[in-house]
Structure 1
Amino acid sequence: MKPLPEIRLMPTRPALEVRPLEKRVGLIILATDHTSEPDFRRMVASERIGIYVARIPYKNPTTPQNLRKMQPELTAGAALILPDEPLDAICYSCTSASVVIGDAEIEAAIQAAKPGVPVVTPPMAGVRGLRALGAKRISILTPYTVETSRPMAAYFAERGFEIARFTCLGFEDDREMARIAPAALVDLAREATDPQAEALFVSCTALRSALAVAAMEQAIGRPVVTSNQASAWNCLRLCGDDVPRPEFGRLTTLPLGQ
């Protein structure tokens, strides 16, 4: 073997930028999630905004009892995202669990590891999106069972929405939910939308519904808000990104509402 070359240490180090990317969005997802990470990389990530992902333990079936078991994992999951560095927003990407656990409890658990970071949940973002669109009478479509759908209906009713029609598909496994084709969701949107509804909310971060928003809106003739689309929109606005993205629905052309 030839002698190794002398290793030269540069006498000066290059100047460091404040951050590799200007804005940072944390994303906490289920161990079984196939959809949230690709959706956020598609809708949020850019040369200015980075997406930093942590997965937490989760086992099917998707029942209120199993969803609630994730709450103790949220602090540890948040702590794994760029430890000791600030984030501009962090999203816990599970709609049904957010409803069962509660937005305030999720915020407290995440902020125990990331103090002061704005926390987004899909149902919270959905409510903000529907209000930004001016919708009060809505239809809701979920892939869940009736048992798991009940807390979702209560969540939106408690926030002042009139639910004209609520439709669920009866799935218990989020991995199967992710295998529903976006084109099939367009047909389901037609069936799930009440003629008197002002908008349709499509729940579940496992569904690939963000890819079908524009087609669903065209099919039903009114706005569509989905879990990942609304969460992405909310996170973008928190990062100061106001660029319209009409290919992901009418909501993404609007400023952030409350």
Structure 2
Amino acid sequence: MNEHPRPTTVGLLYPGFGAEDDFPQLERRLDGQVRLPLVHTPVGEDAHRVDALLDLGSPERLAEGARQLAGRDLDSVMWACTSGSFVFGWDGAREQVNDVAKIVGLPVSSTSIAFVEAARALGLRRVAVAASYPREVASHFVEFLRRGGVDVASLGSHDILTAAEVGTLGKERVAAMVRAGDVGDAEAVLVPDTAMHSLAWLDDLESAVGKPVLTANQVTVWEGLRIGGGSTRLAGLGSLFRL
């Protein structure tokens, strides 16, 4: 008997605007298998700087969004943000999701944690990172991965300063970033930033480098389904969803 008579439903806390349309487009492609209701959390300054990102992921901003999801018919909740979680460090990212869980009363995770869980699920030990952020910000992601047992063979950073600009990147630009970030001894390429569109292009991105590619929106959906008890075997979403 199916434990979920309705689609698995993952509530998303999404900061501001950028690639939020990735999620309803995925819902339509999957024809009702997954629901991804989204609440926009407030943003102070749209800037890929550590101080601005610490404000973006502050308890007050997350709590404001979490209260909008509380009481809904959800299976899990994701803080759908990479930089606004990894800048808090390994322990701070877990404090974030624990605080949200107290409000919503559901399993909660974040995009940064999802990257580590996805790497573990694929058995990855050494990866390349292709980041939209400036190097100062991206280096915090590298350290976060290393705390999770994932070694980073190379870091490509592209100095894009705002989520709004990242949200304008098309498929060819994203594929070029993935190819530029890849190195031969990396087992996969990781692409942080939930402001970047990717969900419609995952198989093509993997074909571009001939190895798994993990993107922020991809691992966010996968982790939300995993912790919510849903199926993570879905077509057209890369190697991660074929496990």
Instruction: Give the letter for the 1:92 counterpart.
Output: W
User: 196, 201, 223: which one pairs with 1:207?
Assistant: 196
| 1:110 matches 2:100 | yes
| 1:233 matches 2:222 | yes
Give yes or no for contact 1:210–1:229 (8 Å, CA) kept in 2: yes
| 1:25 counterpart residue number | 10
| 1:78 matches 2:66 | yes
Q: Superposition pairs for residues 68-217 of structure 1, below 5 Å?
A: 68-70=54-56, 71=58, 72-81=60-69, 83-85=70-72, 87-101=74-88, 102-115=92-105, 117-217=106-206
Instruction: Give the letter for the 1:74 counterpart.
Output: L
Change (3 A) 1:66 1:20: farther
Give yes or no for contact 1:93–1:122 (8 Å, CA) kept in 2: yes
CA distance in 2, matches of 1:84, 1:135: 37
Deviations 1:228-252 (A, max 9, x none): 1011112223344326334121111
| 1:16 counterpart residue number | none
CA distance in 1, matches of 2:228, 2:68: 21
Instruction: Give the letter for the 2:101 counterpart.
Output: Q
| 1:13 counterpart residue number | none
Instruction: Give the letter for the 1:163 counterpart.
Output: V
CA distance in 2, matches of 1:183, 1:85: 38
CA distance in 1, matches of 2:114, 2:195: 16
Give yes or no for contact 2:116–2:150 (8 Å, CA) kept in 1: no
Deviations 1:139-190 (A, max 9, x none): 0011001121121111011112221110010011100011111122112211
CA distance in 2, matches of 1:23, 1:162: 32
Q: Structure 1 residue 60: deviation in Å?
A: 1.5
Question: What's the TM-score, normalizing by structure 1?
Answer: 0.82
Change (3 A) 1:218 1:80: same
Pairwise CA RMSD: 2.1
Deviates more, 1:100-109 or 1:57-66: 100-109
Q: Structure 1 residue 97: deviation in Å?
A: 0.7
Q: Structure 1 residue 134: deviation in Å?
A: 1.3
Change (3 A) 1:26 1:202: same
User: 57, 63, 68: which one pairs with 2:42?
Assistant: 57
CA distance in 1, matches of 2:145, 2:195: 20
CA distance in 1, matches of 2:149, 2:241: 23
Give yes or no for contact 1:28–1:56 (8 Å, CA) kept in 2: yes
| 1:252 matches 2:241 | yes
Unpaired runs of at least 5, structure 1:
1-18
Deviations 1:83-132 (A, max 9, x none): 434531101111001101332121122123112x1112111111111111
CA distance in 2, matches of 1:114, 1:166: 36
Give yes or no for contact 2:118–2:219 (8 Å, CA) kept in 1: yes
Give yes or no for contact 2:13–2:66 (8 Å, CA) kept in 1: yes
User: 5, 21, 25: which one pairs with 1:42?
Assistant: 25
Q: Structure 1 residue 39: deviation in Å?
A: 2.2
Question: What's the TM-score, normalizing by structure 2?
Answer: 0.87
CA distance in 2, matches of 1:78, 1:202: 26
- Structure ID, larger Rg: 1
Task: Tell me the matched-pair count.
Answer: 232
Change (3 A) 1:95 1:242: same
